[in-house]
């Protein structure tokens, strides 16, 4: 910062100037009143008025000047008579000229004081601006140091540079030596030199922003990551200058790498846990199917046989009295119903036809029974050529068909259902559509995102299909709902 200039002339203070004016002004007044009238001593008031310039007060200047003007005329009016001649017009003219001169000197001093005030104000404003600028520069340096940022300026045409101290520290170069482009470029990682040069050329030629991240070999701190941003400012091509900043982002890069590593580890853990849960779910589904198959066999082989034997025995007793015959016929009908229900329950648990003839024939048989039991019209479309698939695929398709028709019967109120099945050697699809009241949009969106808002039936279907690398979609059909399952045939599924 520049030193402040002294706004006063000499070493006379305003207070001392006022005291001197009062003292010498009184002496001049007394001397002029005691001297003969034709002797003009008021002329000695001129230096006193000049002295008032150091008082720095307009009031003191003009009050004193007014008093000196009065003293000038009092010196000729109240002073003793002239010794030689009487007071003439010449003496009065002399006094008038003195008054005019005093006023002119007062005006000159007034302008001088005003100039001093203006100079003081300018000095104060300059000092304030310098203080603000110094404070801003200090804050900028503190901010750059705290953020590890350095600023720089480059004149491409003249090849001159202007670096901040922080910039020298970031790049590990000597602040006492002028920065050199070649030295800076030589420390950039060889793999990043190309993109840095390209960014510089685009900035200097096309006026684009210079924004690039690169690796830099710091002489004392090793490999660092630097992020530089710059912009070119110019009025013409010869006066172009580039202003920019450089930011050491090594710590940020290390944090990002650690975060990416943590995310990768977390994803690996989640993948392992998900895989374990899927294997557990698959084993549970397999155990469930085995249990259903076992119960179905027990119902068919044990309970079914017992009911059949009971039916034969009841038939053999039908030749009794009419009342006994009636009771036996009712019992026979009840046994028939029990046999039918047992066979139906056994088929629903695990249809033997699925293992023997495949999904297409088992689905047709199941749909016939569903139509008879529910009164819902069913339209089945299957390919002409019947193709067998692996047991897990056929079982998953059959369970999707079962669950979809159960939901239609319980919830939709649809008068009919369309079932479409298409299977090739590469891919199979099953679509079940009803024409009922449908599902709410919120429930469909929730099912698409998560299975928590739906029952275990739909969640179980999706899990079965997912285990076979397939996809289950539930969508609105307006009216009704569509349930579509698809999966690749190449996925053999579980054994």
Q: What is the pLDDT along the chain (495 residues), one digit of tens a residue?
A: 344 444 444 467 888 888 888 888 888 888 877 777 777 777 888 888 888 888 888 888 888 888 888 888 887 777 666 555 666 777 778 778 888 888 888 888 899 888 888 888 999 999 888 888 877 777 766 666 666 788 888 777 767 778 888 888 888 888 888 777 788 888 888 898 888 888 888 877 776 678 888 999 988 888 999 888 888 776 555 567 788 888 888 888 888 888 888 888 888 888 777 776 666 666 666 666 666 665 666 555 555 566 666 666 666 665 556 666 666 676 667 766 666 666 666 555 666 677 777 888 888 888 888 888 888 899 988 887 777 888 888 888 888 888 888 888 888 888 899 999 988 778 889 999 999 888 877 777 777 766 554 556 777 778 778 888 888 888 888 888 899 998 898 644 433
Measure the CA–CA gap between 68 and 63, rounded to whole angstroms: 9
Please state whether beta strands 416-423 and 377-381 pair in parallel, antiparallel, or not at all (unpaired).
parallel
Q: What is the dihedral of CA 76, 82, 87, 90, to 10 degrees?
A: -90
Radius of gyration of the chain (CA): 55
Measure the CA–CA gap between 91 and 372, rounded to whole angstroms: 148
- Distances from the Cα of 235 to the Cα of 156, 160, 161, 229, 240, angstroms: 14, 18, 19, 21, 7
CA-based nearest residue to 285, from 362, 174, 399: 399
Q: Give the full edge-to-edge strand order of the sheet including 210-218.
A: 160-163, 149-155, 241-248, 222-233, 210-218
The pTM for the full model equals 0.41
- Distances from the Cα of 440 to the Cα of 128, 169, 433, angstroms: 71, 64, 16
Q: What is the dihedral of CA 36, 37, 43, 48, to 10 degrees?
A: 80
pLDDT of residue 7: 43
What are the structure tokens assigned to 22, written together?
Answer: 């009062």
Sign of the torsion angle spanned by Cα atoms 345, 437, 431, 378: positive
CA-based nearest residue to 190, from 167, 157, 223, 147: 223
Q: Which residues pair with 245 in a beta bridge?
A: 151, 229
């Amino acid at each position: 910062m520049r030193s402040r200039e002294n706004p006063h002339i000499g070493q006379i203070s305003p207070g001392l100037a006022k005291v001197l004016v009062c003292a010498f002004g009184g002496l001049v007044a007394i001397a002029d009143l005691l001297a003969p009238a034709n002797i003009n001593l008021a002329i000695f008031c001129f230096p006193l008025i000049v002295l008032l310039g150091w008082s720095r007060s307009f009031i003191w200047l003009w009050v004193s000047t007014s008093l000196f003007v009065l003293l000038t005329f009092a010196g000729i009016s109240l002073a003793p008579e002239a010794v030689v001649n009487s007071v003439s017009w010449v003496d009065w003219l002399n006094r008038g000229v003195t008054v005019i001169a005093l006023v002119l000197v007062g005006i000159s001093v007034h302008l001088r004081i005003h100039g001093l005030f203006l100079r003081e104000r300018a000095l104060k404003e300059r000092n304030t601006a310098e203080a603000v600028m110094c404070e801003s520069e200090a804050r900028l340096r503190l901010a750059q140091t705290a953020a590890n940022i350095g600023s720089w300026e480059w004149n491409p045409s003249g090849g001159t540079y202007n670096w901040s101290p922080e910039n020298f520290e970031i790049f590990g170069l000597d602040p006492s030596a002028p920065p050199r482009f070649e030295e800076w470029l030589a420390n950039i990682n060889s793999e990043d030199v190309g993109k840095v040069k390209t960014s510089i050329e685009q900035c200097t030629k096309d006026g684009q922003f210079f924004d690039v991240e690169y690796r830099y070999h710091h002489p004392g701190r090793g490999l660092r990551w630097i992020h530089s941003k710059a912009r070119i400012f110019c009025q013409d091509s010869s006066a172009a200058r580039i202003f920019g900043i450089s930011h050491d982002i090594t710590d940020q890069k290390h944090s990002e790498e650690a975060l990416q590593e943590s995310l990768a580890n977390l994803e690996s853990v989640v993948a392992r846990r998900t895989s374990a849960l899927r294997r557990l779910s698959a084993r549970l589904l397999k155990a469930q199917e085995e249990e259903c198959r076992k119960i179905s066999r027990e119902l068919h082989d044990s309970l079914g046989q017992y009911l059949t034997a009971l039916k034969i025995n009841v038939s053999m007793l039908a030749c009794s009295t009419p009342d006994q015959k009636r009771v036996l016929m009712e019992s026979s009908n009840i046994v028939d119903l029990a046999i039918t229900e047992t066979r139906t329950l056994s088929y629903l648990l695990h249809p033997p036809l699925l293992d023997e003839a495949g999904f297409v024939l088992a689905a047709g048989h199941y749909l016939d029974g569903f139509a008879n039991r529910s009164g819902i019209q069913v339209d089945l479309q299957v390919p002409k050529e019947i193709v067998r698939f692996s047991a897990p695929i056929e079982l998953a398709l059959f369970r999707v068909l079962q669950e979809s028709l159960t939901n239609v019967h319980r919830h939709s109120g649809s008068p009919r259902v369309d079932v479409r099945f298409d299977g090739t050697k590469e891919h199979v699809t099953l679509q079940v559509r009803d024409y009922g009241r449908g599902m709410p949009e919120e429930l469909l969106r929730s099912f698409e995102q998560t299975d928590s808002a739906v029952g275990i039936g739909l969640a179980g279907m999706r899990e079965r299909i997912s285990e076979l690398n397939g996809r289950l979609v539930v969508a609105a059909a307006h009216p009704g709902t569509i349930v579509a399952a698809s999966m690749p045939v190449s996925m053999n599924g579980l054994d």
